[in-house]
């Protein structure tokens, strides 16, 4: 009998959690051929999420929970869940029902076939999302896929079912700056993509502000491509060439026509422009340096306050 672990990261999900648990239980009872395990990861919630999870875990022996000492972010929560999952297959699901549990049976049939090691979901519409956010999201996927060799799929959600081999591969990537969408692509394996129409969260509100998403996208770029570093070197080189050409032109012009002192405004503009580019490139360098700095500290990805594993 196969065992499936459902990893559910939760941050302030007191409103949505009961709905999720009820819906998931319904599907679980329909899949009577498989054993199930729930792993709720409370990511330092400030509301009653932990109390709700604890209550469920007392009534339902399949429910395990981990509670962090503070909010470490969804990436850490997913990692903790994967590390503690004991199933032959592991699914990562949001607590807000945006990852419909009803897809599980179909996902399971794919992943048990020889061909696929994981089944991932991709939303085909971005309905219910502010247009500006959709625009930047699309732009981000275009940019990162141009720059990175790892395939990062537009609209991919973290909702996926993986077999043990793939889970172990993901766990073996112990980096501090985690960007799961890239990690899943990087480890390889055969993935079946299930497109589905975006569902709005059942209760509560999104934990991702525009700013949080922006920082997360930078994380993705820095973690999965070093192209910006190459681009800044190329920029620097191009400007050196340009400057050299200008110098030659100015020398020749001065020898032919004497010494014209005009051209101050253009000089200032050029100086400001080059200064800007320099700061921009130093900034890029700084991003990589800061990530490398954090990696070398080897801090744990999360700190557990309590759990019910032992
Ligand atoms: N989440 C988390 N830690 C965080 C932010 C979010 O564990 O710091 C969880 C959250 O409880 C939910 C999932 O990650 O189960 C997705 O979050 P959300 O629904 O807010 O994101 P969205 O669906 O709007 O992208
Ligand atoms: Mg959501």
The average pLDDT across 234-258 equals: 83
% of the chain residues with pLDDT over 90 = 32
**Poorest-confidence range of 178-187, 237-246, 283-292, 301-310?**
237-246
Instruction: Provide DSSP, 154-222.
Output: TTEEEEEEEEHHHHHHHHH---SS--HHHHHHHH---EEEEEE-----SSS--S--HHHHHHHHHHHHH
CATH classification at residue 46: 3.90.550.10
Task: Name the nearest CA neighbour of 93 among 121, 59, 56.
Answer: 121
Which of 45, 49, 207, 210 to mutate to test ligand 1, by most ligand atoms within 8 A of the CB atom?
Answer: 207
Integer Cα distance of 189 and 267 in angstroms: 55
243 and 184: one domain?
A: no
Which is the closest atom of ligand 1 to the Cα of 41? 7
- pLDDT band at residue 240 using 50, 70 and 90 as cut-offs: confident
215 and 232: one domain?
A: no
% of the chain residues with pLDDT over 70 = 98
169 and 21: one domain?
A: yes
Tally of structural domains, the chain:
2
Which is the closest atom of ligand 1 to the Cα of 12? 11
For residues 125 and 38, which has the higher predicted lDDT (pLDDT)? 38
231 and 214: one domain?
A: no
- pLDDT band at residue 217 using 50, 70 and 90 as cut-offs: confident
Q: What is the pTM of this model?
A: 0.80
Q: What is the mean pLDDT of the chain?
A: 87
157 and 31: one domain?
A: yes
| Residues within a 6 A CB radius of ligand 1 | 9-11, 13, 43, 71, 73-74, 77, 94-96, 98, 201, 206-208
- pLDDT band at residue 261 using 50, 70 and 90 as cut-offs: low
49 and 108: one domain?
A: yes
Residue pLDDT, tens place only, 12-70: 998 889 999 999 999 988 888 888 999 999 999 999 999 999 999 998 888 999 999 99
217 and 232: one domain?
A: no
Which domain range does residue 92 map to? 3-224+299-307
- Distance from Cα 50 to the centre of ligand 2, integer Å: 18
The average pLDDT across 257-283 equals: 79
144 and 256: one domain?
A: no
Residue pLDDT, tens place only, 89-123: 999 999 988 888 888 998 999 988 878 999 998 88
Residue pLDDT, tens place only, 144-187: 888 888 778 888 888 999 999 999 999 999 888 888 888 998 89
The average pLDDT across 130-156 equals: 84
Q: Looking at ligand 1, which residue's alpha carbon is closest to its atom 12?
A: 94
Which is the closest atom of ligand 1 to the Cα of 9? 7
Among left, alpha and beta (phi > 0; psi -120 to 50; other), residue 53 is alpha
207 and 279: one domain?
A: no
9 and 49: one domain?
A: yes
- According to the model, what pLDDT value does residue 260 have? 62
11 and 84: one domain?
A: yes
161 and 172: one domain?
A: yes
- According to the model, what pLDDT value does residue 78 have? 95
Task: Name the nearest CA neighbour of 204 among 22, 9, 12, 46.
Answer: 12
């Amino acid at each position: 009998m196969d065992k499936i672990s459902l990893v559910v990261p939760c941050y302030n999900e007191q409103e949505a959690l009961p709905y999720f648990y009820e819906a998931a239980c319904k599907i679980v009872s329909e899949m009577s051929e498989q054993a199930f395990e729930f792993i709720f990861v409370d990511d330092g919630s400030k509301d009653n999420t932990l109390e709700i999870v604890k209550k469920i875990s007392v009534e339902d022996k399949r429910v395990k929970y981990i509670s962090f000492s503070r909010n470490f972010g969804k990436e850490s929560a997913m990692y903790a869940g994967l590390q503690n999952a004991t199933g032959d297959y592991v699914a990562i699901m949001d607590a807000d029902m945006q990852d419909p549990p009803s897809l599980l049976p179909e996902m399971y049939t794919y992943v048990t076939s020889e061909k696929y090691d994981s089944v991932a979901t991709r939303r085909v519409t971005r309905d219910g999302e502010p247009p500006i956010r959709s625009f930047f999201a699309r732009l981000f996927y275009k940019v990162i896929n141009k720059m990175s060799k790892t395939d990062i799929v537009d609209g991919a959600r973290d909702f996926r079912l993986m077999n043990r081999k793939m889970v172990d591969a993901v766990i073996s990537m112990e980096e501090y700056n985690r960007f799961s969408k890239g990690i899943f692509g990087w480890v390889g394996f055969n993935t079946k993509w299930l497109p589905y129409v975006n569902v709005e969260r059942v209760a509560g509100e999104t934990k991702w502000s525009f700013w949080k998403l922006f920082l997360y996208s930078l994380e993705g770029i820095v973690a999965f491509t070093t192209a910006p570093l190459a681009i800044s070197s190329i920029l620097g080189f191009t400007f050196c060439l340009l400057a050299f050409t200008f110098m030659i032109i100015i020398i020749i012009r001065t020898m032919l026509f004497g010494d014209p002192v005009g051209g101050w405004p253009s000089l200032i503009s050029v100086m400001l422009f080059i200064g800007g580019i320099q700061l921009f490139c130093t900034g890029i360098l700084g991003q990589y340096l800061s990530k490398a700095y954090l990696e070398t500290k080897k801090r744990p990805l999360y700190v557990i306050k309590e759990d019910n594993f032992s």
